[in-house]
Amino acid sequence: MRFERCRMLFGEENFQKIQKAKILILGIGGVGSYALDCLYRSGVSDITILDYDIYDETNQNRQIGSEAVGESKIETLAKLYPGIQTIHQQMTMVWVESFDFEPYDIIIDAADTTKVKIEVAKKCHKKLIMSVGSAKRFETNKIEVASIWKTHGDALARKIRNELKKAKFDRNFTVVFSPEEDKCKEKGSFVGVTGAFGLTICSEVIKRIVK
């Protein structure tokens, strides 16, 4: 049976919860695609992915599906993971403001745009698991999970904290981050870390579901 070993690990009651969970993944690049793969293989049957991009040759070092250069990311992944739902949409402030996040149990933010990430946090912090800087790093053992207010050593997380403070927003949400110092100035990336971010997010989703 396909999910027999998941059932052994989680128990039938918890596995039923996992299967029924409704998950939204915002951004399906180096982090989001691995979160998708992990959730799909763990039995989550109601997954929606959102992205607007097509694959570029430079994505091939870290993104699942990126052999399909020039093709739509969501369409490619829909073929690789039959049954998932797709939203072909650019994440903008206007979209975040108008989109209904209520039907989803958990929202994974693996998007790139800081302003949009902040708006997502304001709108659905209770359901949110956010990924921050995974680029420019190569040590997986530095990856941590914490409240946004307890993140450290990551410039993007610091910027998000500061902007939320300015907006007088003080609610908690979960962040996957790494305090590892940047190893380059450019957008260098390593699938060992970006993929591990995605797998860590998946683990946090499963923990939240079974609790």
Q: Give the domain ranges of the chain.
A: 4-210
pLDDT in tens, 63-82: 999 999 999 999 999 999 99
pLDDT at 133 over 90: no
Let me know: does 28 contact 34? Beta carbons within 8 Å. no
Per-residue confidence (pLDDT) for residue 11, from 0 to 100: 97
The mean per-residue pLDDT over the stretch 168-191 comes to: 95
Give the count of beta carbons closer than 10 Å to the beta carbon of residue 75: 14
Which residues are 187's β-sheet partners? Answer: none
pTM over 0.85: yes
Superfamily of domain covering 4-210 = NAD(P)-binding Rossmann-like Domain (3.40.50.720)
- The candidate with the shortest Cα–Cα distance to 62, out of 33, 27, 26, is 33
Let me know: does 36 contact 25? Beta carbons within 8 Å. yes
pLDDT at 59 over 90: yes
Angle among Cα 159, 160, 161 to the nearest 5 degrees reads 90
Let me know: does 197 contact 157? Beta carbons within 8 Å. no
Give the count of beta carbons closer than 10 Å to the beta carbon of residue 165: 11
